[in-house]
Amino acid sequence: MIHVFIGTQAEYIKLAPLLWRMESAGLPYRLIDSGQHADRSESFREELGLRAPDHSMGGRRSVDSVPAALWWAAGLSRKLARPRRLARTVFGGRPGICVVHGDTPTTLLGALMAKRAGLALAHVEAGLRTHRWLHPFPEEIIRVAVDRLADLLFAPDAAAADDLRRRRVKGRIITGSSNTISDALRAALEPHTADAPAGLDQPGGARSPSAPCPVVVTMHRVENLHRRRRRQALVCTIVRLAQTTPVRWYVHEPTRRALSSADQADLEASGAQLVPMAGYAEFVRALAQAPFAITDGGSIQEECALLGVPVLLWRDRTDRVDGIGQNVVLSRYGPATTEAFLADPERFRRAPSLPQSSPSQEILEVLNDWIIGWTRTETP
């Protein structure tokens, strides 16, 4: 049995193409929702055309603050003390392999639970590093820990695979043709493809052809939300930008709480639109039409790299090589870098470059072969 352990919006988006293919191939799997984004998971699944989870954990509220994350993680960690009950309740008493994704608290908890229950572990998006233990925190530590636990490590590119080899991880390393975000992005932009479920076939962000498309802005990372100087620098940048250019800031709930009332008043007075997070298809279509983007999101960096959209990455370091030196400019919070980018962002535009191959299909084939081999060894 393949167990898929996810719980955040990014995990749902990036693993949805794999789940679509398992459904299409009739390959049985068990979907486990960690509850990290509990109050939004149902809407993610509905838009992405995914079925309800076989097992849901946590409560009904999303884990969107540090205290809430600690409380949630502590509650779920107690399940590790009783491996037999863990295997029976969370994994339905079905042995096999558990798939986790990325570098979130859900990733680490899923990995620990799977190993504690006696399952093999597959890590999708393995091998990404900034090589600084506390930047970002706790993502960098989670990546290293899960990579060491994994039996199958799906690296999104050759650089990630090489890093895993240098670290001498024990699991089998599989180098993918690209990140699974490319499959999700194609389905959102071309909803009539065979891989896209009906839920994605919805028009998003319709605008008058003559209206200028807004700059897309997001910020949600801990290293920005809880560092006043970095947060304020971005607010000031957007306030100045919005006075001459349409700007739409998609505001995560933690970001809304982190922005002071004065910040929000200044942004609104400048003409910047502060809007809630949109559905995935609507968001990526807005991103594809944007003159440029400013973000601290790793997934958005990957999407912009594929779309060729200029993007100012509001971070000191990134674990991804996507677009760096081409259409992605790493700000390192430097005023000179920011001003140089804003002076002529169009010079960073590149042609879209969606790969023809499907990384999700590549993962599915490896998992299917693993299940076949495992079944043969387990059958008396």
- Give yes or no for residue 66 having a pLDDT over 90: no
User: In the structure encoding, which two tokens stand for residue 31, read together?
Assistant: 């979907």
Residue length of the chain: 380
Q: How many CB atoms lie within 10 A of CB 203?
A: 9
Average pLDDT over residues 5-16: 95
Report how many helices (DSSP H) and strands (DSSP E) the chain contains, helices first: 16, 13
215-348 shares the fold of 2-200+357-378: yes
Model confidence at 205, in pLDDT bands (50, 70, 90)? very low
DSSP H helical ranges for the chain = 9-25, 38-48, 66-77, 83-89, 105-116, 139-149, 158-166, 181-189, 222-225, 228-242, 253-258, 261-270, 280-289, 298-307, 335-343, 359-378
Distances (CA, A) of 353 to 87, 105, 158, 161, 321: 42, 31, 17, 21, 15
The pLDDT score that the predictor gives to residue 64 is 63
CATH class of the region 2-200+357-378 = alpha beta
Every domain of the chain and the residues it spans: 2-200+357-378, 215-348
What confidence tens digit (pLDDT) does each residue in 321-342 have?
Answer: 999 999 999 999 999 999 999 9
**Residue 4, strand partner residues:** 31, 99
Q: Which numeric CATH code is attached to 215-348?
A: 3.40.50.2000
What confidence tens digit (pLDDT) does each residue in 237-295 have?
Answer: 999 999 999 999 999 988 999 999 999 999 999 999 999 999 999 999 999 999 999 99
Q: How many CB atoms lie within 10 A of CB 230?
A: 20
- Give yes or no for residue 207 having a pLDDT over 70: no
Cα–Cα dist 127/167, whole Å: 9
3-state secondary structure of 294: strand
Q: Is the pTM of this model over 0.85?
A: yes
User: In the structure encoding, which two tokens stand for residue 92, read together?
Assistant: 């339905």
3-state secondary structure of 11: helix
Burial pattern 1-23, b for ≥16 Cβ within 10 A else e, equals bbbbbbbbbbbbbbbbbbbbbbe
At residue 72, φ and ψ (nearest 5 deg) are: -65, -50
